[in-house]
Structure 1
Amino acid sequence: MKFSKRLVAAFFTSVAAAGIVLAGAPAASAAKPFCDVNLGSGAETCFATADGLRGYEAAAALAPVVTVFKSVSYLGDQGFFNYTNVYNRTTCTAADSPHEASDGDLRDAFYQNTGALMDRSISSIYIRPGSGCRVRVFDGIGFTGSSKLVTDNAVHGCDDIRYCFPEDWSNRIRSLWIS
């Protein structure tokens, strides 16, 4: 008798738990932290894998001019964003301002929906050699607050944002522009 009561209780407990999981929990979405941001059209396309992104860019003949990573040393294990196709060119102009492309709010819905939260998460910035691009980073939304300029130096950008400037900029970047 005790065994059957335990069995019935276990059955109803598991049914109740399954009902809570099915009814109350939001559906898990697959993170897609490997993205292409087309600087000419503004189109943003993300993939669940780095290989998916590379295949898309190869098929569309898109060449990244700047890549921002969530990891140091240009590692893509935490996701990255390629900025490509600067107005149908693979180079930037020499001017720091006006900028050619920008993202004034790295916490916006696009980043939240892709699972690649970039606000205060950029750890390294790679600039393709010969692109002539530079990246100005800001610690405020909408290009406000302090800023620093990342250029195509010996390491082609900044391989660890903690050490590229006299003060630590890790967990600070909230907006950026590319010129």
Structure 2
Amino acid sequence: MQLGELDVILIDGRSGSGKTSLTERLVTRQRLDGGRIQVLHVEDLYPGWDGLAAGSRSVATALDAGGYRRYDWHAETFGDWIALTTDRPLVVEGCGAVTAENLAAAQRWAERIAGAASPARVHAVWLDGSAELRRGRALARDGETFRPHWERWAAQEDRLFARTQPETLADEIIRIEEPARGPVD
């Protein structure tokens, strides 16, 4: 997966699957290659710990509007406007990123980048791994902040993913078996 060959990459998976780590590696590689990139973290759209489905639905709205108000987890309200520009590639990462509606919005957004001269290039990735591995990774990352919310969040994931079926929409499925290492090719 080469970001320079794409307009939009959507990276989805359950908590602890490595979405943010993969995104960070892609961004670093793109910047090392001299490219500019922007990232929409779906967690910036969740209206709190019970907001997975609402945040997922907000991705398409943000792409169509060219920006979004970032959720402030400490103030528990939406705050700063974050603009999304069509002058550089975009990575959308987070639980709920890959849905049919979000893919359609990503396609529209990518068409604004590509223009009439070339086809829009959108790529969806699903990261998957065992619940035990993911839980260990999530708690190692977020510790006591996430521990009381794990079961509640996992139940939201179950409901959302049963409805949206992101693994069937993905262009690529990456199975995790241990912590992410090494560069992304």
Q: Greater relative contact order (Cα 8 A, min sep 6): structure 1 or 2?
A: 2
TM-score tier by shorter-chain length is under 0.3
* More strand by percentage: 1
Instruction: Determine which structure has more spread, i.e. the larger CA radius of gyration.
Output: 1
Greater helix content = 2
Q: With the length of structure 1 as denominator, give the TM-score of the two structures.
A: 0.25
TM-score by length of 2: 0.25
